[in-house]
Each structure stands twice: as C-alpha cells, then as structure tokens.
Amino acid sequence: MRVRAATSEDWAGIWRALEPVLRAGESYTYPADITESDARAMWTTGARVLVAVDRGGAVLGTARYLPNHPGAGAHVANASFVVAPEAGGQGVGRALAHAVLDAARADGYRAMQFNAVVETNERAVRLWTSLGFTVLATVPAAFEHPRHGLVGLHIMHRTL
C-alpha cells in the first residue's frame, strides 16, 4: 500500500470508497442521498486530498485536510478519512492518518481538530486516541445514527 496525493483521475476510486460509507449514514453528517457531484465538491474543494492505493493503483481509502476555520483559526487543521469497506482492518486508516498528520505538520499547521467523530464509531475513536487525540467534549445526541438512534459527536484534538 502507498499513500500519495490524489489526482483528478483518482475520483472514480475515491467515489467507490466514499459512496458506501456516506450511504450507510453511520459516520458522517452528510446526507445519505448526497449526489456524486456534491460529494466530489465536498471532498475536494479547498482541501488537500490523499489516497491510499494498492500495488495495482486501486484506491483503498482517502483522506482530506484543510483549515478548520479561516483567518485566525487557520493554523488548526481539520481532516476526514474514509476506508473502502472491503479494505477495513488492513491498516489503511492508520496509514492515511500518519500521512495526513505528517503533511499537515509540514504545511505549518500546529494542531488538528475533528469536529464530529461519531461516538459509536469505535474503530475511529480507538485509532484517533492511539495517535494522541483526546476527546475535548461530546455533544450529546448530536448525530442520528440509523441503528443506534441519537448518539453523541466527539470533538477530538491533538497538537502537531
């Protein structure tokens, strides 16, 4: 597996990874019926996008990062990650996380903040805490999970 900057030619593979995750509605606040064009704009606009690819170049997962806020808050990055469902448990998320943290640090960001980690997304919470993120707060009942009902959204942070 290799992590690299995404190109426009990667979009079809990114969408293949992203679509089932967005449709499931279990880990992102975006509408489950988001169109491909809206998803592409959401994922790529204003962000640096990375992909994890296998030896054949197939996209296993993707990540994006950008300033969490403009202006005086632009030194704190925000990021989003998706691992293709069939690539789960293979270290793709961890590889993307390390690449994003390194790239954000190299770009001059001083910290990274996640604004909405669904508390029932145990794999993500476990990954982020293992990489030094802390839960600053949990907004109760802020996410309507399709199986668990109303659950909290963690705000997570770490310095770079």
Kindly report, residue by residue over 45-91, the tens digit of the pLDDT: 999 999 999 999 999 999 999 999 999 999 999 999 999 999 999 99
Give residue 34's pLDDT band: very low, low, confident or very high (50, 70, 90): very high
In this prediction, residue 107 carries a pLDDT of 97
- What is the rounded average pLDDT of the residues 121-125? 94
Report how far residue 28's alpha carbon sits from residue 157's, in angstroms, rounded to the nearest whole number.
Answer: 18
In this prediction, residue 116 carries a pLDDT of 95
In this prediction, residue 121 carries a pLDDT of 95
Domain borders along the chain are 2-159
C-alpha separations of 37 from 14, 61, 80, 84, 94 in Å: 12, 19, 18, 19, 28
- What is the rounded average pLDDT of the residues 117-131? 95
Mean pLDDT over each residue of the chain, to the nearest integer: 96
With beta carbons less than 8 A apart as the criterion, state whether 9 and 29 touch.
Answer: no
pTM for the predicted model, two decimal places: 0.94
Name the β-bridge partners of 83: 61
In this prediction, residue 84 carries a pLDDT of 94
Contacts of 11 (CB under 8 A, 6+ apart): 40, 44
With beta carbons less than 8 A apart as the criterion, state whether 112 and 105 touch.
Answer: no
In this prediction, residue 96 carries a pLDDT of 98
CATH number of 2-159: 3.40.630.30
In this prediction, residue 138 carries a pLDDT of 98
Q: Which helix (H) or strand (E) holds 40?
A: helix 36-44
Name the β-bridge partners of 155: 137
